[in-house]
Amino acid sequence: MWATTTAVSWKTLGLASLLLALGLEGVTRLLLFVLRGRQQRRSSASEVLFFPAPPTCTEALLRPSRPLPCACGLPHTESSLSRLMLRLLSARRSLELCIFSFSNPQLARTVLLLHRRGVRVRLIADSDYMAVKGSQVGVLRKAGIAVRHDQHIGYMHHKFAVVDKTVLITGSLNWTTQAIQTNRENILILEDVTVVKAFMEEFERIWQEYDPSTYEFFPAKK
Amino acid sequence: MWATTTAVSWKTLGLASLLLALGLEGVTRLLLFVLRGRQQRRSSASEVLFFPAPPTCTEALLRPSRPLPCACGLPHTESSLSRLMLRLLSARRSLELCIFSFSNPQLARTVLLLHRRGVRVRLIADSDYMAVKGSQVGVLRKAGIAVRHDQHIGYMHHKFAVVDKTVLITGSLNWTTQAIQTNRENILILEDVTVVKAFMEEFERIWQEYDPSTYEFFPAKK
């Protein structure tokens, strides 16, 4: 009788412990699976681009419907500019742009392409630099893209973009051909939720502050 | 006999399972502890600072040995500038600086303080902007800090710092008082190993390229 009772209690304990062990192993495996997935998403998400980037042909990105390769003499290789364009072209719903100086035609065509595809584009510019020769801000505005600008003595010196409210593209690079092809510059691409949220909040703050209804006709000169 | 054998085998199974369960639980707890620690380090690691920042007193950071509070009329509150200075002052071994325009006296004093504490400071500057009125590059150089600069037509337009080879400080902000107090600017502080590594490699690449032994006396004008 004692042996049977002992056997039963050991049996219960054994089964319970086995279930516990299996349960915990399951939890551990699930935990590791989820965390590994998160880590992979993290590492694939962040990217660093450095400039100057040598001129390359980006027509394949801007005219994806044309099957024939472009006949221009430029190299048809990847560059920091084409990587940047690819990241922008991944936008499906929204693109927030907060760019101090924007005169590069390829990046303007990238933004126009997204606008035509139905992506909601909003652009914040600096009032001085949007008026310089070669600026693409007027071109984008004429195409129907919403543009707002500062009226301050200081510069709106940000150079960042947010793709689909999830990907931040930021750095030292102004969106000018000189900066892309001649300067030492950096671009950092991140999907960190907290960082993206902070930049989106800054965008919305500026967007509200630069509401055209608050514009003065003769503001203090810079 | 059967009962005893069964009891023994159930006992063995029970004990083995219990040990397995406890072992797995231990592993799980250890795993969670480590991961939680890493997450906490991560979340405390990334920080976003926006400018303009109103002028505040930063003497307490620059003269930590003086017990009395500064009698200046400025607010003694935290600001984006003081947060940036705190991050720089956390350096114990090395500080790499790659700054397009550096004229803010408080940031120059921060760097000088680190230099005096024995932190190995290296500064890469832009040849045009290091020569403008108010530039702090000459002051730092005279104090014995190693400075290198470009000789190119393009600008050395980066504005980043790496603290102890582990913390990246980057963004749109030039280290000038105008940018800090007047412009819309951002600073992103990250401890992401891959990102920091990419910026450190860029620093070393430029540092080698701008070796004084390769300087020409009459380079092409910008």
Percent of chain B at pLDDT above 70? 80
Instruction: Return the pLDDT at B40.
Output: 41
CA closest to B15 among chain A residues: A14
CA distance to partner chain A, nearest, from residue B139 (Å): 24
**DSSP assignment letter at B41:** H
Cβ-proximal residues to B12 (8 Å cutoff; 6+ apart), any chain: none
Kindly determine whether residue B184 and residue A158, on different chains, have CB atoms separated by under 8 Å. Answer: yes
Q: Please name the helix (run of DSSP H) or strand (run of DSSP E) that holds residue B185, with its range, or none.
A: strand B185-190
A13 neighbourhood in chain B, CB within 8 Å: 14, 18
Kindly determine whether residue B194 and residue A158, on different chains, have CB atoms separated by under 8 Å. Answer: no
B185 neighbourhood in chain A, CB within 8 Å: 157-158
Q: What is the arithmetic mean of pLDDT over A6-13?
A: 67
The Cα–Cα gap between A140 and A144 comes to: 7
Instruction: Return the pLDDT at A24.
Output: 65
pLDDT bucket at B68, cuts 50 / 70 / 90: confident
Write down the catalytic residue from B115, B158, B164, B192: B164
Percent of chain A at pLDDT above 90? 68
Kindly determine whether residue A160 and residue B179, on different chains, have CB atoms separated by under 8 Å. Answer: no
CA closest to A4 among chain B residues: B3
Q: What is the arithmetic mean of pLDDT over B95-111?
A: 98
Instruction: Return the pLDDT at A7.
Output: 58
A43 neighbourhood in chain B, CB within 8 Å: 194
For this structure, is B157 an active site residue? yes
Average pLDDT score, chain A: 87
Q: How far is CA A197 from CA A125, A165, B82, B152, B183, in A?
A: 20, 8, 22, 37, 21
Instruction: Return the pLDDT at B43.
Output: 40
What ipTM was predicted for this assembly?
0.80
Instruction: Return the pLDDT at A127.
Output: 93
Has residue B32 got a pLDDT over 60? Answer: no
**DSSP assignment letter at B100:** S
| A46-214 under CATH 3.40.640.10, yes or no | no
Has residue A4 got a pLDDT over 60? Answer: no
Mutation for testing the A interface, residue in B5, B124, B182, B188 having most A CBs under 10 Å: B188
For this structure, is B150 an active site residue? no
DSSP letters for chain A: -HHHHHHHHHHHHHHHHHHHHHHHHHHHHHHHHHHHHHHHHHHHH-EEEEE-------HHHH-TT--SPP-SSS--S--HHHHHHHHHHT-SSEEEEEES-B--HHHHHHHHHHHHTT-EEEEEE-TTGGGSTT-SHHHHHHTT-EEEE--SSS-B--EEEEETTTEEEEES--BSHHHHHHSBEEEEEE--HHHHHHHHHHHHHHHHHT-GGG--SSPPP-
The Cα–Cα gap between A164 and A90 comes to: 9
Has residue A149 got a pLDDT over 80? Answer: yes
A149 neighbourhood in chain B, CB within 8 Å: none
Kindly determine whether residue B186 and residue A20, on different chains, have CB atoms separated by under 8 Å. Answer: no
Instruction: Return the pLDDT at B15.
Output: 74
pLDDT bucket at B35, cuts 50 / 70 / 90: low
B173 neighbourhood in chain A, CB within 8 Å: 157
Instruction: Return the pLDDT at B21.
Output: 67
Has residue B105 got a pLDDT over 50? Answer: yes
Specify the residue for token string 């690819």: A86
Q: What is the arithmetic mean of pLDDT over A130-141?
A: 95
Q: Please name the helix (run of DSSP H) or strand (run of DSSP E) that holds residue B42, with its range, or none.
A: helix B2-45
For this structure, is A211 an active site residue? no
Q: Looking at the partner chain, which of A43, A153, A182 has a beta carbon nearest the beta carbon of B153?
A: A182
Q: Looking at the partner chain, which of A31, A152, A170 has a beta carbon nearest the beta carbon of B188?
A: A170
The Cα–Cα gap between B139 and B111 comes to: 11
Has residue B42 got a pLDDT over 50? Answer: no
Mutation for testing the A interface, residue in B24, B148, B169 having most A CBs under 10 Å: B24
Instruction: Return the pLDDT at B178.
Output: 96
Write down the catalytic residue from A126, A149, A150, A159: A159
Residue of B130, B153, B154 lying closest to B220 (CA atoms): B153
Write down the catalytic residue from A11, A157, A197, A222: A157
A59-107 pLDDT per residue, tens: 999 998 876 778 889 999 999 999 999 999 999 999 999 999 999 999 9
Structure tokens belonging to residue A106: 């390829």
Mutation for testing the B interface, residue in A1, A10, A22, A176 having most B CBs under 10 Å: A10
Asked if residue B144 lies in contact with residue B111, where contact means CB atoms within 8 angstroms, the answer is no
B1 neighbourhood in chain A, CB within 8 Å: none
Q: Degrees (nearest 5) of the Cα angle A86, A92, A98? A: 70
In degrees and rounded to multiples of 5, residue A21 shows phi and psi of -60, -50
Has residue A16 got a pLDDT over 60? Answer: yes
Instruction: Return the pLDDT at A90.
Output: 97
**DSSP assignment letter at B11:** H
Please indicate whether residue A43 or residue A139 has the higher confidence score (pLDDT). Answer: A139
Instruction: Return the pLDDT at B1.
Output: 47
Has residue B192 got a pLDDT over 50? Answer: yes
Q: Please name the helix (run of DSSP H) or strand (run of DSSP E) that holds residue B96, with its range, or none.
A: strand B94-99
A105-119 pLDDT per residue, tens: 999 999 999 999 999
Has residue A19 got a pLDDT over 90? Answer: no
CA closest to B30 among chain A residues: A28
Q: Looking at the partner chain, which of A24, A159, A181 has a beta carbon nearest the beta carbon of B24?
A: A24
Average pLDDT score, chain B: 87
pLDDT bucket at B38, cuts 50 / 70 / 90: low
Domains of chain B, residue spans: 1-45, 46-214
Q: How far is CA B165 from CA B13, B66, B96, B200, in A?
A: 52, 30, 8, 7
Has residue B2 got a pLDDT over 90? Answer: no
